[in-house]
Amino acid sequence: MGANSREDINYIPAGSSGGENFGWNVMEGSLCRQEGAGQPPCGDDSFTGPVLEYPHQGRAAVIGGYLYRGPIEELQGTYIYTDNGTGLIQGFQFDRETQQIVEDSFVDLTKRLVTDAGELRNMAGLGVDSDANLYFTSLFGGVYVLDSVLLPGDINLDDSVDLADFATLKQNFGTTGSEWTLGDLDDDGSVGLADFGIIKEHFGETAQNVPEPASWQLLILSTPLLLLFRLRHARASCS
């Protein structure tokens, strides 16, 4: 749910009798929107805050969402949602006891899903079938089933994170822009050390878990990349 400034996801326990007050229209997520006569003040104890929220900033409307129970083991127990305006597909695990997002459980699937036809954008809804497969529907008429996810760091989509992916990242290192560039694994608009960190973390992983070249090879090849970063940083500091 959301309005003019941000989108938010809320939680109602299974045993609840209902009636939770998420603060609208005094609050928009955790943002104080308006206060008026006869309404509780912003941040009132009677309000139930969001589990997760994000500002619009090019995004439009959160489309939720299902707790994944399908065949992809990596995503088991992950609440998956999308955004109507951007094609964003993300998820997290939620601890019902603490009613908090589980630490380090956040996953961004936006760049890890590839369709065999069409494009995952302007999603209108999600659904599941009797086998717990997750489906996405698009305003452009497409219906997509989630049957696999790409390895994080697998830039060239060959089911392994290896030296070829590092070479692509090195080639595009320092590239920035509004359009996605091969190597921008964290989707921050640039190819940099954070993206290298993703490859380093997952280096050697394959779809079949077959051992890849030793990580010392990546360490050797990363040396010129770090030097390149320092050189560009020095130039930027002097300009």
| Domain span holding position 188 | 150-239
Confidence of residue 57 (pLDDT cuts 50, 70, 90): confident
Rounded to whole angstroms, how far apart are CA atoms 203 and 216? 10
CB burial string 92-127: b at 16+ within 10 A, e below? bbbeeeeeebeeeeebebbbbbeeeeeebbbbeebe
In a domain, 75, yes or no: no
Which pLDDT does position 211 carry in this prediction?
38
Which pLDDT does position 217 carry in this prediction?
46
Which pLDDT does position 178 carry in this prediction?
53
Q: Count of domains in the chain?
A: 1
Portion of the chain with pLDDT greater than 90, in percent: 16
| Burial class of residue 231, CB neighbours in 10 A (0-12, 13-18, 19+) | exposed
In a domain, 162, yes or no: yes
CATH of the domain at 201: 1.10.1330.10
Residue 90's beta-bridge partner residues? 81, 108
In a domain, 86, yes or no: no
Which pLDDT does position 207 carry in this prediction?
66
As a whole number, mean pLDDT of residues 18-40 equals 83
Lowest mean pLDDT among 38-42, 202-206, 222-226: 222-226
Residue 6, SS3? strand
Which pLDDT does position 180 carry in this prediction?
56
In a domain, 66, yes or no: no
> Nearest CA to 84 among 66, 60, 64, 65?
60
In a domain, 172, yes or no: yes
In a domain, 5, yes or no: no
Residues 6+ apart with CB under 8 A from 8: 1, 2, 22, 28, 29, 30, 50, 51, 52, 53, 54, 62
Best mean pLDDT range from 1-10, 46-55, 143-152: 46-55
In a domain, 135, yes or no: no
Taking the complete model, does pTM exceed 0.85, yes or no? no
Which pLDDT does position 78 carry in this prediction?
94
